[in-house]
Amino acid sequence: MKIAVLDDYQNCVRSLTCYSKLIGQDVTVFNDTVKSVNELAQRLRDFEAIVLTRQRTNISNELLHLLPNLKLISQTGKAGSHIDLNACKNLGITVMEGDGSGEATAELNMLLILAALRNFTFEVNRMKEGKWQGTVGRKLSGKTLGVYGYGKIGKQICQLGQAFGANILVWGRQSSLNKAQADGFNVAASRQAFFSSCDILSIQLRLTPDTKHDIKAEDLSLMKKDSLLVNASRAELIESGALENALLSGRPGFAAVDVYEDEPVMDANHPLLKLNNCLCSPHLGFVEQDNYESYYGIAFDNILKFISNR
């Protein structure tokens, strides 16, 4: 089968143990990213199967109609709004998905929280400049750690935060609140109470048409002046431009983000990169060796199942 693996930024897919599953197939791995429909159509028109690396490439109705040979899209992780599933159905293109543990992303959230609270990157860079201590950081223990969304990763962050001595507060849909309470975690009395009482707020929502731009400027304006907002889920969960403006106005006082509306970010002109009160990382949440083996391994297994009509 002629297979394209897209958006392998680190040129690492061929080095994964699970890559051997595709021995005997005609595989091309692309390390760069193209975004326009015409560029994608030209690149992918001969392929029968596409392996998508999370949501890095948008598979639109227009693009699908320009790929006459495409039979299968094998998604690493869950298929989302980046794939036009109705168009796939109408064109007879099979979409297969898998899932991961979420542990790597939960750990990355904790890394961002601790690094931001302790001014870690700032202090490391000062030391490289020949300077010594320049700030006084804060601990996580005793702080109110708010988790917006209580899915698989949200639950893990609650558990990790609790282990660090944080006071956990959950907000989300009623079903999420019910699950959180059943697991022994406190839930906020209201949306307003949640945003106004968190010392640290971690966003853990899936991006869907219902959750896009769910968090508004008025929500952020309720946050404390010394609070920290962490977003390692999806940038589009926050209203466009709202976080930058909120940081400039001082509520929240700091942010740590791992996701951006237009990725990859290949220059230093992104507005968040210019703010001293924002810690930015290049979407590293799921980028971890064991996680890659799991995600790509399932995606490759799904291709083999498709080929053998299973």
Shared-domain flag, residues 48 and 128: no
Catalytic, out of 97, 263, 288, 293:
263
Q: Which of 54, 239, 251, 283 is catalytic?
A: 283
Question: Does 241 lie in the same domain as 130?
Answer: yes
Give the C-alpha separation, 228 to 40, whole Å.
38
Distance CA 163, CA 167 (A): 10
pLDDT band per the 50, 70, 90 thresholds, residue 267 = confident
Q: Quick check: 250 pLDDT over 90? A: yes
Is 293 found in the same domain as 266?
no
Q: How many CB atoms lie within 10 A of CB 110?
A: 20
Residues 120 and 29 in one domain: no
Which residues neighbour 44 within 8 Å (Cβ) at sequence distance 6 or greater? Answer: 4, 50, 63, 67, 70
Contact 144, 200 (CB under 8 A): yes
User: Looking at the structure, do residues 148 and 206 belong to the same domain, yes or no?
Assistant: yes
| Whole-number pLDDT of residue 100 | 79
Label residue 226 by pLDDT band (50, 70, 90): very high
Query: Active-site residue 82, yes or no?
Result: no
Looking at residue 152, its pLDDT comes to 95
**Distances in Å between the alpha carbon of 114 and those of 120, 156, 199, 291, 301?**
8, 16, 13, 22, 37
Report whether 153 contacts 285 (CB < 8 A).
Answer: no
How far apart are the C-alpha atoms of 87 and 111, rounded to whole Å?
39
Q: Measured between alpha carbons, how far is 74 from 45 in angstroms, rounded to an integer?
A: 16
Q: How many domains does the chain have?
A: 2
On whether the pTM is more than 0.75, the answer is yes
Q: For the chain, how many helices (H) and strands (E)?
A: 11, 12
CA 102 to each of CA 48, 93, 221, 222: distance values in angstroms, whole numbers, following the listed order: 30, 28, 30, 29
pLDDT at position 80:
86
Q: Is 118 a known active-site residue?
A: no
Mean pLDDT in residue range 45-74:
97
For residue 196, what pLDDT band results from cuts at 50, 70 and 90? very high
28-52 confidence digits (pLDDT tens):
999 999 999 999 999 999 999 999 9
- Tell me, yes or no, whether 246 and 108 share the same domain: yes
Q: How many CB atoms lie within 10 A of CB 123?
A: 16
Task: Name the catalytic one among 48, 54, 234, 251.
Answer: 234
129 part of the active site? no
Contact (CB, 8 A) for 307 and 24: no
Please give the structure tokens belonging to residue 232: 């390692």
CB 231 within 8 A of CB 176: no
Q: Are residues 85 and 132 in the same domain?
A: no
80 & 109 share domain:
no
CA–CA separation, 60 and 37 (whole Å): 8
Q: How far is CA 68 from CA 25, 41, 74, 207, in A?
A: 19, 10, 17, 29
- Shared-domain flag, residues 264 and 213: yes
Query: Phi and psi of 189, rounded to 5°?
Result: -75, -25
> Does residue 115 sit in the same domain as residue 183?
yes
85 and 148 assigned to the same domain: no
Is residue 233 very low, low, confident or very high in pLDDT (cuts 50, 70, 90)? very high
Same domain, 266 and 161: yes
CA gap 162, 166 in Å, rounded:
5
What percent of the chain lies above the pLDDT cut of 70?
100
What's the pLDDT tens digit per position in 106-156?
Answer: 999 999 999 999 999 999 999 999 999 999 999 999 999 999 999 999 999
- Distance of alpha carbon 155 from alpha carbon 179, whole angstroms: 9
pLDDT of residue 283: 96
Contact 117, 137 (CB under 8 A): yes
Give the separation between CA 100 and CA 295, rounded to whole angstroms: 6
Answer for the pair 151, 203: CB distance below 8 angstroms, yes or no.
no
Tell me the residue range of the domain where 203 lies: 103-280
Q: Which CATH number covers residue 240? A: 3.40.50.720
